[in-house]
Amino acid sequence: MLLENFEKFVFEKHRDNNEFNEFLKENLEFDLELERENEFLISQKPVEEMTDENVLDYLEEINLYEPLTSEEYEELVDNIEDQESKEKLVVNSFTDIAKVALYFLRDGIEYLELVQEGLMGAIEALNRYSYDNGDLKKYIKIWSARQMAFYVEERFEQMRQEFLYYFTKTHMDDVEITNEEIDKKVKVLENLTIDSIAFSLSKDEIKAIEYYFGLGLEKRYSIFEIEKEMNLEKNQGEELFSVALSKISSRDGRMFSL
């Protein structure tokens, strides 16, 4: 299921955790594809220079963790009721969750906050998992993505309601705006949906981040290797990566403009 369809699916049909868990048990083939249907809906905001070095530090830090071997992973899954096993499985999911967050990131959302929500989803998955749920890695990915989707929706609705309150419930005598202009803005807000909010990263920008930090891959790629893998001209890889890193490091909280 493509990303936007997944969002609508969980928003409209599977808000209850227990019901969602039962759905996954009954539909083991269900999966989330890290692809977007509306690839044209990419943010056109001016790219600022990197403003939050914590993002770079985090992505570098999670690369220091050695991935579990197949034997270690299976042993932990066999002992999933043990708290230490759960903690090690969460750590093993860091890079996968960081990758998923790149696809869900939209204007007005901070990347590390989205990653944190994904980790909460992973913990929920581990607390609920049984062999009836099939592949654990896929199960964690789906729960993490669902938690991210709900967080983006929550932030969108919070900001929309704050603007509506500002234009309809506060005195605006000191603001140079006519009643007609207020009515227009209110109408825009009332008709605004989460589908109107641009995604932060293009497909190529996501790919550059994935390659550079080795997210979901067996190794990290140099800028030269990224250019080769993506059929880019010399120096295009550096520019692409820099723009992408600046986008996920931005702390600009504007989800939409009126």
For the chain, give every domain's residue range.
1-258
Q: Two tokens at 101?
A: 């967050």
Q: Please give the backbone phi and psi of residue 6, each rounded to the nearest 5 degrees, phi first.
A: -65, -45
pLDDT (average), residues 98-113: 95
pLDDT of residue 129: 95
Question: What's at 99, amino acid-wise?
Answer: K
Secondary structure letter of residue 232 according to DSSP = P
Residues 62 and 256: beta-carbon distance below 8 Å: no
**pLDDT category of residue 174 using cuts at 50, 70 and 90:** low
pLDDT (average), residues 234-242: 94
Cα torsion angle, 184, 190, 193, 198, sign: positive
Please, what is the average pLDDT of the chain?
91
Q: Could you report the per-residue pLDDT of 79-99, keeping only the tens digit for each?
A: 999 999 999 999 999 999 999
> 3-class DSSP state for residue 81?
coil
Sequence-distant (6+) residues with CB within 8 A of 2 are: 33, 35, 36, 37
